A and B are shown apart, each in its own frame.
Chain A
Amino acid sequence: DSGVTQTPKHLITATGQRVTLRCSPRSGDLSVYWYQQSLDQGLQFLIQYYNGEERAKGNILERFSAQQFPDLHSELNLSSLELGDSALYFCASSLGTSVGNEQFFGPGTRLTVL
Chain B
Amino acid sequence: GQQVMQIPQYQHVQEGEDFTTYCNSSTTLSNIQWYKQRPGGHPVFLIQLVKSGEVKKQKRLTFQFGEAKKNSSLHITATQTTDVGTYFCAGQGTSYDKVIFGPGTSLSVIP
CA distance A45 to B3 in the complex (A): 12
A52 in the interface (beta carbon within 8 A): no
Point out which of A43, A56, A107 has the most chain B C-beta atoms below 10 A from its C-beta.
Answer: A43
A99-B30 contact given A42-B101, A45-B99, A56-B98, CB 8 Å threshold? yes
Within 8 A of B (CB), among A2-51: 2, 33, 35, 42-45, 48
Is B110 positioned at the interface, with any CB of A under 8 Å from its CB? no
**Number of A residues with CB within 8 Å of any CB on chain B:** 24
- Expressed in whole angstroms, the minimum distance between the Cβ of A38 and any Cβ of chain B is 12
* A102 interfacial contact with B, CB 8 Å: yes
Q: DSSP class of A's interface residues: helix, strand, loop or mixed?
A: strand
User: When the two chains form their complex, are residues A106 and B42 in contact, meaning their CB atoms are under 8 A apart?
Assistant: yes
**Nearest CB on A from B38, distance (A):** 12
B contact residues vs A (CB 8 Å cutoff): 30-31, 33, 35, 42-45, 48, 50, 88, 92, 95-104
User: What is the 8 Å Cβ interface bit string for chain A, positions 49-85, against chain B (1 contact, 0 not)?
Assistant: 0000000111000000000000000000000000000
Q: Taking the nearest CB of chain A, how far is it from the CB of B102, in angstroms?
A: 8
Determine how close the nearest CB of chain B comes to the CB of A59; give it in whole angstroms.
10
A97 contacts partner chain B, Cβ-Cβ < 8 Å: yes
Could you tell me if B98 and A48 are in contact, using CB atoms closer than 8 angstroms?
A: yes
The 0/1 profile, CB within 8 Å of B marked 1, for residues 97-114 of chain A is: 111101111111000000
